[in-house]
Structure 1
Amino acid sequence: MLNHEKGAPPLYSQLESIIKMQIERGEYNRGDFLPTEKMLMDQYEISRVTVRQAMAALSQAGYIKCSRGIGTEVIYEKIDEHMKSVISFTDEMKQHNITMETTYCRMEKIMPGTTVASALQIPLTDQCYCLTRVRSVQGRPLVYTITYMRDLVELPMDSQYYMESLYKYLGEVHEIRIVRGRDTLEAALPSLEVQKFLEIDAQMPVFKRTRQTFLPGEDFPALHTSGKDGLVFEYSVCYYPGNRYKYTVDL
């Protein structure tokens, strides 16, 4: 039931939160229809105006679609990604027929900290590239990514080159051949920085994926640090809002 006491959140906001949770838990799946306005009014003892305010908020957030004479249909669906090979995030989303857009992009050269230098297997005195991006779907942030890359080729600082698939650009323009990768997956609470870029609050858990990718050692014979995995080229840290993304690993 809703909290009708003085000082409680607005009733429409409470109803919105309840239905969001029901959808995210799978009580309502994509293509299902929510109860009618009258059913919700009776169940929660609220007015038609309150129900419509909640539905408008859910529609704006991409959870439902309201059609006159048809009903309120759930359109929300978590993105389920299967880990099988190293592909770009752009290509991952294309496999789900999802159109991505880059809503924030910044490329720079930095001095790496201990964690980044260790992951890239470079000295602390070597500069590396740092590409920060936010990829969004229908204006809603889906992933915040910080990508660190070895300074092996001259990459432009202009962000226009990185609005689409990074791997495609590196392969077609710079002949960078990524042959394998290693992902580490974990749940986390968002830092202030992650909250800002993903537009979420502090209580929303995030899905964190760190990735190392490797180049063929024979492509860079002058570098003698290549192990059996090849030469580390990229170290990325990606954050996904937990209510919009899930990851499946085939064993």
Structure 2
Amino acid sequence: MIDKNSPIPIYHQLEESIKQLIESGQLKPGDALPSEREYSEQFGISRMTVRQAIINLVNERFLYRVRGKGTFVMEQKFEQNLQGLTSFTEDMKARGMEASSKLINFEIIPADAKLASALNIQEHGPVYKIKRIRLAENIPMALERTYISANLVQGLTSEIVKNSLYYYVEETLHMKIVGGTQVIEASIANKEEVKLLEIPELSPVMIMERSSKLEDNTVFEIVKSTYRADRYKFMIDLKRF
């Protein structure tokens, strides 16, 4: 509703009204919005006021415009808190979404010098190399490449890694994963990422490299993940010391 007697600007009231429809699910990703003329007639306000509200929502990435077709609701990004270490499955479950994995490759390889150093194992030691596409509601979200010492995590199979790797490690092997270190950088998707993540060429992506540890400080895994920048954002709380 628009209250013309309110001290709150009318364009801002319209913005908030549209946001509420999006956040409540009444307007879904891909839905087309009424035209500026329709909003103007519905609320008895100027088209310039409507245009200002729409422009602001486009800038805030709630909406996007297609020339000659109209204005549409944008897919909202998933926000991942960087202060806790959770698996992709746990992260999606907390959002009430169904997580799944598409296994691209599962093999045991000899560790080269760099990988052996990162995992703190002997060079040429056996390492699981796992490549998976991580999906939420069957939509590709990330391409994940994981390296784990085969001597540390025994009994791993392709069937296990199609589901939650962390669940197997903690609930079946009774190893406690306690933390890790992550490095994040921006990049442009390569040909493989474009294909597997089903995104346009030259799409921006976020590369996250993580080293996770067990409670005895043993390095458990090295993971390099490519996240779709159009579907993910990262958040961290900062404190001034």
TM-score interval for Structure 1 and Structure 2 normalised by the shorter chain: 0.5 to 0.7
Question: Per-residue displacement from partner, 1:113-153 (whole Å, max 9, x unpaired)?
Answer: 34322321223221211111111123321011011011213
Q: Does 1:153 align with 2:153?
A: yes
For 1:244, the equivalent position in structure 2 comes to: 231
**Is contact 2:214-2:220 (8 Å) kept?**
yes
For 2:59, the equivalent position in structure 1 comes to: none
Gaps spanning 5+ residues in structure 1: where? 1-27, 41-62, 65-71, 218-229
Question: Partner of 1:90: helix, strand, or coil?
Answer: helix
Question: Partner of 1:77: helix, strand, or coil?
Answer: coil
Instruction: Measure the CA separation in 2 of the matches of 1:84 and 1:210.
Output: 15
For 1:208, the equivalent position in structure 2 comes to: 207
Q: What is the aligned-residue identity percentage?
A: 29
Equivalent positions of 1:70-219 (< 5 A) are: 74=73, 76-151=75-150, 152-157=152-157, 159-217=158-216
Relative to structure 1, the CA distance from residue 191 to residue 121 in structure 2 (aligned partners, 3 Å threshold; closer, same or farther) is: farther
Match of 1:35 among 22, 33, 36: 33
Q: By how many angstroms is 1:202 displaced?
A: 2.9
Relative to structure 1, the CA distance from residue 35 to residue 171 in structure 2 (aligned partners, 3 Å threshold; closer, same or farther) is: closer
Instruction: Measure the CA separation in 2 of the matches of 1:111 and 1:201.
Output: 34
Instruction: Measure the CA separation in 1 of the matches of 2:88 and 2:138.
Output: 17
Question: Partner of 1:179: helix, strand, or coil?
Answer: strand
**Is contact 1:101-1:163 (8 Å) kept?**
yes
Instruction: Measure the CA separation in 1 of the matches of 2:173 and 2:148.
Output: 13
Q: By how many angstroms is 1:191 displaced?
A: 2.1
**Is contact 2:185-2:208 (8 Å) kept?**
yes
Instruction: Measure the CA separation in 1 of the matches of 2:74 and 2:186.
Output: 25
**Is contact 2:33-2:72 (8 Å) kept?**
no
User: What TM-score results when the alignment is normalised by the length of structure 1?
Assistant: 0.64
Amino acid at match of 1:95: A
Amino acid at match of 2:102: T
**Is contact 1:178-1:213 (8 Å) kept?**
yes
Instruction: Measure the CA separation in 2 of the matches of 1:101 and 1:156.
Output: 18
Q: Does 1:234 align with 2:221?
A: yes
Q: By how many angstroms is 1:164 displaced?
A: 2.1
Relative to structure 1, the CA distance from residue 37 to residue 249 in structure 2 (aligned partners, 3 Å threshold; closer, same or farther) is: same
Gaps spanning 5+ residues in structure 2: where? 1-17, 39-62, 65-70
C-alpha RMSD of matched pairs (Å): 2.6
For 1:224, the equivalent position in structure 2 comes to: none
Amino acid at match of 2:220: F
Q: By how many angstroms is 1:105 displaced?
A: 4.7
**Is contact 2:130-2:145 (8 Å) kept?**
yes
Q: How many residues are aligned here?
A: 182
